[in-house]
Amino acid sequence: MNAHASDAGVGVMFNGVLSDFLDRHPDAPDFLSVIPERFWNDLGRRAATRFVPLPDEVGLLDRLAARYPLVAHGIGLSIASASAFDLAHVRQLAQWHRRYRFRWISEHLSAVRVHTRITPDHHAGLALPIPWDDDMLQMLCERVSQVQDILGCQLLLENGVVYTPVPDTDMSEAEFLRALTRRTGCALLLDLHNLYVNSVNLDLSAFAFIDALDLGAVHEIHIAGGNWLYGAYLDSHAGPCADAVWPLLSYTAPRCPNLRGVTFEFHESYYPRLEVAGVLAQLTRARNAMTGKEGEQTCRSRASSAPLPT
């Protein structure tokens, strides 16, 4: 087993309710992950001036950047949408990267934009599953290389959530990710809660998936919680990290030699379930898991510890 990079830290996905937490526990996170699309308005491809910064949000970002290392976690590129590849969006992100010098930049390996008769950029409302086939791999290799050239840095891509099986794939998701990182030099953001969601809903082994990855390509890990709705387990970021994700983190983090950070994500509407003490507890537990203090004896308890539908 390899030890992860000694400077790997613990971070939190920033949202507005965290200001109070950061004032009271400024040293709790080592870095903040920010969603860049929250700091500008995108008026659409036909607008004369497409991207308009939001002054209040930019002021907030400036203050955060003065206090913490920032990493950018994009949500709007939709790099797997065959119908559109939005290079203007990438150039906008690159412009902000030059201004804030993000420690690293990640995006989702998913398709959220779909082509309609009205617009090529209709938002589907959730990330659509993508086929793990040779055509998709070729398209993504070309796009990832272009994105990395424009950004001037490595791109991290995050594994997504799938609520239904994807038929007729040429390879497994892990095989696809290994090929993509090998051919482009991009890295992975391994979202362990996304993986857990898939393992529950599709009856897959999360540990087998982790074992099949090239863990040297994993530079960041996400942890989060979810909830049950009508028989499906959802990636809703509902409060604290799911119990079954902690063993996955303890198992995975020490095996990632190039790991740079573990980030706790929660949706701000669930802050009343967490409050200051709850967020602090998640970050402390993540730090312990990274250093092996969580203990490996529970790591192989397998996903059978899935919470029961409530």
Local structure of residue 299 (DSSP, 8 states): G
Which residues have CB under 8 Å from 149's CB, separation 6+? none
Stretch of 29-37, 95-103, 189-197, 201-209 contacting Fe ion, by CB under 5 A = 189-197
Instruction: Give 222 or 285: the residue with its C-beta nearer to Fe ion.
Output: 222
Q: Does 219 bind Fe ion (CB under 5 A)?
A: no
Part in contact with Fe ion (CB under 5 A); list of ranges 89-97, 125-133, 191-199, 277-285: 191-199
In the set 222, 237, 260, 287, which binds Fe ion (CB under 5 A)? 222
The gap from C-alpha 269 to its chain's centroid, in whole angstroms, comes to 19
# binding residues, Fe ion (CB under 5 A)? 2
Give me 22's structure tokens: 């950061």
For Fe ion, which stretch binds (CB under 5 A), given 64-72, 118-126, 141-149, 185-193? 185-193
**CB nearer to Fe ion: pick between 51 and 249:** 249
For the CB of residue 106, give the shortest distance to Fe ion in the complex, in Å: 9
Find the part of the chain contacting Fe ion (CB under 5 A) among 58-66, 124-132, 186-194, 269-277.
186-194
Nearest to 218 by CA among 178, 250, 183: 178
The residue among 51 and 107 lying less far from Fe ion, judged by its C-beta, is 107
List the x/- string, 48-87, binding to Fe ion by CB under 5 A: ----------------------------------------
Amino acid at 270: Y
Q: Can you tell me whether residue 169 is helix, strand or coil?
A: coil
278 SS3 class: helix
Shortest Cβ 224–Fe ion spacing (Å): 6
> Residue 229 in 3-state DSSP?
strand
Please, which residues have CB within 8 angstroms of residue 67's CB and are 6 or more apart in sequence? 22, 26
What whole-number distance in Å separates Cα of residue 70 and Cα of residue 50?
25
Can you tell me which of 191, 196, 260, 303 binds Fe ion, judged by CB under 5 A? 191
Coil, strand, or helix at residue 192? Answer: helix
Residue with smallest beta-carbon separation from Fe ion: 222
Q: List C-alpha distances in Å: 51 to 43, 85, 92.
A: 6, 17, 8
Q: Interface with Fe ion by CB under 5 A: which range of 163-171, 201-209, 222-230, 251-259?
A: 222-230
Residues that bind Fe ion (CB under 5 A): 191, 222
